[in-house]
Amino acid sequence: MSIWVIADHRKGGLRKPALEALSEGKRLADQMGTAMEAVIAGHNVEGLCNEIASYGAEKVYVIEHELLTNYNPPAYARVIGDLIKERQPQIVLMGGTMTGRDLMPRIAARVGAGLAPDCIKLEIVDGKLKAIRPAIAGKVRVEIGFKSEIQMATLRPNVFEKLEPDTSKTADIEKVPFEPTDLDTKQKLLEFLSKETGRPELTEAETIVSGGRGMKGPENFALIEELADLLGAAVGASRAAVDAGWRPQSDQVGQTGKTVTPNLYVAVGISGAIQHLAGMSSSKHIVAINKDPDAPIFNVADFGVVGDLFKVVPLVTEGVKKAKAQEG
């Protein structure tokens, strides 16, 4: 029995959630006294095997084909699912990226495995995986056990500790043949449109600065963007700001948007409706800026500022600039 990690990648590099999944897979494998192995599918991805090995993978299954250059749901699910059925790993993990959240249920259905999504903690109990994840808008934490022989889970980004890579480690590489079928070729990617902001991916960011209805208009998000850029942060928004057309839906944090777990979450002009809290309350440190002292966001904030955001945020920005100038 072994533990497998499906390594998610983008633009020629492993994604941060993949490194977190590899690290957690290694921890569980060491606990069970078994091997941690990895699977990577794509085109020209064999060069990533050394980095995968540096996180503890003893073997890497490489599936390469031009059709797999971009994520192809039926093709990825078929070839990885068939490999899992053939080799029978006990546990299969993947980072909870958009790809992971789409691919893992497809594979689980194909191989007849139980799947625990969006996990924040994993344990081995009596030789089987036990997963813990939030539920009911983050109000409770649920423990999930498995009856299936193969146990699968996706890991919430920014929750699991990433190991320091050991570049001296190597892994056996096994190339897995892939022959496209008619089903694989029915879906074609015609164009990939990506809005390049120069900022981190929202769900993978270590720091996020978010704005809400209190911003009063799209033009005022320039305050948020300036502070975010100084902090190397992503920009988020509440549903109210998105529904008003001030920010794109891709920026939305909350129950109907994205769930984030950064080290620092700065909520500016966000009241803290339960739908928003469901998407960010697991952040390690929360700072809230709001003129309403009774705003629910202060109930989850580690540090709160009651005041006019249009006065407070520029002061914070200037403070960050001075601190950076002293460091430089």
What does the pLDDT read at residue 172?
A: 96
Helix axes 73-87, 98-111, angle to 10 degrees: 50
CA 249 from centre of chain: 17
The terminus-to-terminus CA distance of the chain in angstroms comes to 51
Handedness of CA 278, 280, 283, 285 (dihedral sign): negative
Buried b (16+ CB within 10 A) or exposed e, 142-167: eebebeeebbbbbbbbbbbeebebee
CA 63 from centre of chain: 23
What does the pLDDT read at residue 137?
A: 74
CATH number of 2-186: 3.40.50.620
Per-residue 3-state assignment (H helix, E strand, C coil) for 177-243: CCCCCHHHHHCCCCCCCCCCCCCCCHHHCCEEEEECHHHCCHHHHHHHHHHHHHHCCEEEECHHHHH
Tell me whether domains 2-186 and 202-327 share a fold. yes
Length, in residues, of the chain: 328
Mark the ranges of the chain whose per-residue pLDDT is less than 70: 194, 328
What does the pLDDT read at residue 79?
A: 96
Handedness of CA 240, 245, 248, 250 (dihedral sign): positive
Using one digit for the tens of pLDDT, what is the confidence trace for 16-44? Answer: 999 999 999 999 999 999 999 999 999 99
Q: SS3 of 30, please?
A: helix
What does the pLDDT read at residue 162?
A: 93
Q: Supply the Cα-derived Rg of the chain in whole angstroms.
A: 21
Q: Are strands 2-6 and 35-42 parallel, antiparallel or unpaired?
A: parallel
The two three-digit tokens of residue 22, written as one number: 């590899």
What does the pLDDT read at residue 191?
A: 74
Q: What are phi and psi of 18, to 5 degrees?
A: -70, -40
Q: Domain residue spans in the chain?
A: 2-186, 202-327
What does the pLDDT read at residue 266?
A: 98
CA 271 to CA 210: how far, in whole Å? 12
Query: CB of 137 within 8 A of CB of 274?
Result: yes
Name the residue type at position 258: K
Using one digit for the tens of pLDDT, what is the confidence trace for 102-116? Answer: 999 999 999 999 999
Cα maximum dimension of the chain: 62
Name the residue type at position 130: K
What does the pLDDT read at residue 251?
A: 95
What does the pLDDT read at residue 327?
A: 81
What does the pLDDT read at residue 167?
A: 94
Q: Which of 200, 321, 328 is nearest to 263 (CA)?
A: 200
Q: SS3 of 40, please?
A: strand
What does the pLDDT read at residue 180?
A: 87
Query: CB of 52 within 8 A of CB of 38?
Result: yes
Query: CB of 136 within 8 A of CB of 278?
Result: no
Number of CB atoms found within 10 A of residue 47's CB: 9
What does the pLDDT read at residue 136?
A: 82
CA 241 to CA 137: how far, in whole Å? 20
CA 70 to CA 76: how far, in whole Å? 10
Domain covering 202-327, topology: Rossmann fold (3.40.50)
